[in-house]
Chain A
Amino acid sequence: GAVVSQHPSRVICKSGTSVKIECRSLDFQATTMFWYRQFPKQSLMLMATSNEGSKATYEQGVEKDKFLINHASLTLSTLTVTSAHPEDSSFYICSARSTGGPGTNTGELFFGEGSRLTVL
């Protein structure tokens, strides 16, 4: 089956530092990846759409300079939370759309395991 891996699964950092989260599609190529943020007991809120080789498209209200997204290859997208503050503490989830592979004709997205960020 299609597998998406996120790393790290948990990260704790000090306020003011930057943190990078990786999202990898392990057995398929993904031209498009999505980044979500989820607070406890709440829904997934789309932050941005990441397209390989081009700039990410951010949802309204999401700070582009704070949440840097890079999609440099067909199997890797990264989310960097810059100058993190306690309010950035959250669960971040990525998902990927396969290109010509599993789920191509069904619209299915494949999700990573999520990354829990805690900013002290």
Chain B
Amino acid sequence: AQTVTQSQPEMSVQEAETVTLSCTYDTSESNYYLFWYKQPPSRQMILVIRQEAYKQQNATENRFSVNFQKAAKSFSLKISDSQLGDTAMYFCAFMTSIYNQGGKLIFGQGTELSVKP
């Protein structure tokens, strides 16, 4: 069974600084997707960034980038130039194969990020 581990329950960062959230996962699959989701106080899940396992190049979306280390099964999220609006719970997620297990999304425990002015 796949597992996703986020070892940082809480983190804080000063506005405009950079912060890195860590995530590790365990799987025997070779093709899969990895995601970072943001959940603000409204509880709406917002996709931050995605990574296909077969792509070696790390995904980037504006101020958000990932460090994907497939062999180490590590998928960290870097937020540059942190903004107050980045304050939220961040979840790392692994998607199983659609053809094997229906493409289930397995979430890590979450990291609560606070951006301080």
**Interface pair B108/A43, CB less than 8 Å apart:** yes
**Interface pair B106/A91, CB less than 8 Å apart:** no
Range class of the B interface residue count: 20 to 34
**Most A-side CB within 10 Å, residue of B35, B104, B105:** B105
B16: CB under 8 A from chain A? no
- Min Cβ gap A59→B in Å is 9
B33: CB under 8 A from chain A? yes
Number of inter-chain CB pairs below 8 Å: 52
B60: CB under 8 A from chain A? no
Complex: A111 Cα to B47 Cα, angstroms: 9
> Would you call the interface of chain A mostly helix, strand, loop, or mixed?
strand
By a CB distance below 8 angstroms, the chain A residues around B95 are 107, 109
Complex: A46 Cα to B96 Cα, angstroms: 13
- Interface positions, chain B 63-111, Cβ under 8 Å from A, are 91, 95, 98, 102-110
Complex: A7 Cα to B47 Cα, angstroms: 21
Q: Which residues of A are interface residues toward B (Cβ below 8 A)?
A: 32, 34, 38, 41-46, 49, 51, 57, 91, 93, 95, 97, 106-109, 111, 113-114
Q: Which residues of B are interface residues toward A (Cβ below 8 A)?
A: 33, 35, 42-45, 47, 50, 52, 91, 95, 98, 102-110, 112
